[in-house]
Amino acid sequence: MTQAPADAATPVVSAFYDRFPYPGDPLQDGPPPGYNWRWCVDAAVASCSGALPPQGPAAQPLRILDAGCGTGVSTDYLAHLNPGCELLAVDISAGALAVARERLRRSGGDQRSAVRIEQRSLLELAGEGPFDYINSVGVLHHLRQPQAGLASLAALLKPGGVLHLFLYADGGRWEIHRSQRALGLLGVGTGEEGLRLGRQLFEQLPDSNRLASHHRQRWALDTAADANFADMYLHPQETSYNLASLFAFVESAPEAADLAFAGFSNPQVWDPARLLQGELLERALALPKRQQWQLVEELDPDISHFEFFLSRGAQSHQDWQLDSDLLAATGRRNPCLWGWPGTALLDSDMAPLDLSAEGFALLQALEAAGPDTALGQLPLGWSELQLLAAARTLLGQRVLLLRPPGTGARAA
C-alpha cells in the first residue's frame, strides 16, 4: 500500500533511502544475532514502570508498530522478542522495504509473529491503532516537521502504551554537522558521487584534522557499509536537539499533551556516577533529575543521540519495597540474556553477569512452575528472608521481571 507524501521532505528522503537502504546490516538465515532489550516489550515496560505490563486472563496479542522500519533490523528483533505479536512495520522507501521483507523471511521472523510490512508514511496511519508499543528509532529527525510525526504516533498509542524514540543530539554530532556542511559546500550531492567524494574527504584530510580523526576513531567502523556512511554524512534532511530543546519538543505538541517522559533507554549514559565521584558526585546527585541530566550533557560532548521512552499517561512505578507485594508477584526471566541456562551470562546490556546459586535456582523454579505461580509459592524450601533477598538481587540485575498480583499474565 502506498500513500501520497504527508511531509515536505518525504519524496527526497524516500529517494535517498531507495539509493541507500538503511541500516546496512547484512541479512542472515535464522534469528537475528544477540538481542536489544528495548525491542522486547516486557523488558521495555519493566524498565519504565518497574513491573511487567498488566494483562487480563483473556489477553489479546500485543500490537506493535515499527514506524520507519528501514531495512527491517528493528522489525526482525521485534518479531522474535515478542513472539505471537501483531506487528505493523512501515517505511516510505520501497527499496528499504524490499530488504526488510527478505530479512524477515530468511530469519523466520514472519513465522514468529503476524507481521505486515507496508510502504506508508507514519503520518498517515489513522485507524491502525491503538498499539501497545511503538518503536520509532532515527525517524522523526528526518521529517521536515518532526512535531507532526510525534503527534501522529501519540494518537496511535493506547492508554498506558509506550513509545520508544531515538533522536540526534547536537553535542556529539558537532563534527558530523561540520562534515555535512563541508560536503554541501563542495556540492557532492546525495548519490554515489557524494559517497565517493565523502570517503575521499576523510582520506585526504590531515591526520591532525579534528573532523578526520574523530571520524576514524569513532565512526569509521559504523560507517563501513555505504548505506551507513550516506545516512550519516549525506542525508538531505536532519534535525538535532539538545536536552532543553528535546523536552520542549516532547512537551509542546498539543496532540501529544498526555505523553509523559518515562525514562532514557540508555540510563547508564545519564548517570553522573559515570563521570564524577566524591564531593562532586554528591553535589550532582542532590540536583533534580533534569539538572543531573543537564550536567551530564555539559560534561560529555560525545553524546550523539537521545534514546528514550514516552508513555501515554504517566507511568506509576513499582519499587517492590513491600515484602507482601514481592511474595505475591508473578513473573518471568528477562528473555534478553545470553548464556541461559547458566550462571555466567551476558545481561540485557551485553555486560558480563554472574548469577548466585540462589538466583539461578529461583529462576529455574520460576520457569518450571509457570507464569501464574507467585514467588512465595515456588517450591524452593527457603525461608522468606532468603527468597526475598534472592528476588531483590535479581530485580536489581534486571534479570527478573515481575508483575503485581491480580494483573494477569501473558504467555511467553
Residue where a domain stops, chosen among 205, 233, 261: 233
Q: Residue 36 falls within a domain, yes or no?
A: yes
Note the pLDDT tens digit of each residue in 345-392.
999 999 999 999 999 999 999 999 988 899 999 999 999 999 999 999
131 in the same domain as 200: no
Q: Residue 1 falls within a domain, yes or no?
A: no
Q: Give the ranges where 20-156 is alpha helix by DSSP (H).
A: 41-49, 73-81, 94-107, 109-112, 146-156
Rounded distance between C-alpha atoms, residue 23 and residue 36, angstroms:
15
253 in the same domain as 226: no
359 in the same domain as 280: no
Rounded distance between C-alpha atoms, residue 358 and residue 162, angstroms:
33
Q: Residue 318 falls within a domain, yes or no?
A: no
331 in the same domain as 353: yes
Residue where a domain stops, chosen among 292, 312, 332: 312
- Name the residue range of residue 50's domain: 10-170+240-312
How large a percentage of the chain has pLDDT more than 90? Answer: 89
Tell me what the mean pLDDT of segment 303-316 comes to.
93
Containing 195, the helix (H) or strand (E) segment is helix 192-204
163 in the same domain as 14: yes
Note the pLDDT tens digit of each residue in 236-278.
999 999 999 999 999 886 666 689 999 999 999 999 999 999 9
108 in the same domain as 18: yes
In the structure grid, which three cell numbers stand for residue 76, read together? 526482525
Rounded distance between C-alpha atoms, residue 362 and residue 334, angstroms:
13
Handedness of CA 180, 182, 184, 189 (dihedral sign): negative
What is the structure's pLDDT at 408? 56
Handedness of CA 90, 92, 98, 99 (dihedral sign): negative
244 in the same domain as 229: no
399 in the same domain as 296: no
Question: pLDDT-based confidence at 283, cuts 50/70/90?
Answer: very high
**Residue 108 clears pLDDT 60, i.e. is over it:** yes
Handedness of CA 348, 355, 393, 335 (dihedral sign): positive
Question: pLDDT-based confidence at 4, cuts 50/70/90?
Answer: very low
In the structure grid, which three cell numbers stand for residue 261, read together? 517522559
How many residues does the structure list for the chain? 412
Q: Residue 410 falls within a domain, yes or no?
A: no
179 in the same domain as 328: no
Q: Output the pTM of the full model.
A: 0.93
What is the structure's pLDDT at 60? 85
What is the structure's pLDDT at 412? 44
What is the structure's pLDDT at 1? 41
Average pLDDT across the chain, whole number: 93
Q: Residue 411 falls within a domain, yes or no?
A: no
In the structure grid, which three cell numbers stand for residue 400, read together? 527478573
Q: In the chain, how long is the greatest CA-to-CA distance?
A: 73
C-alpha dihedral, 105 to 138 to 401 to 296, nearest 10° = 150
357 in the same domain as 277: no
Say how many domains are in the chain: 3
What is the structure's pLDDT at 383? 97
Q: Residue 39 falls within a domain, yes or no?
A: yes
Burial grade of 29 (CB within 10 A; 0-12, 13-18, 19 or more): exposed
Rounded distance between C-alpha atoms, residue 247 and residue 245, angstroms:
6
Residue where a domain stops, chosen among 233, 248, 274: 233
21 in the same domain as 67: yes
Rounded distance between C-alpha atoms, residue 92 and residue 207, angstroms:
39
Q: Residue 95 falls within a domain, yes or no?
A: yes
Q: Residue 412 falls within a domain, yes or no?
A: no
144 in the same domain as 91: yes
Note the pLDDT tens digit of each residue in 55-96.
755 568 999 999 999 999 999 999 999 999 999 999 999 999
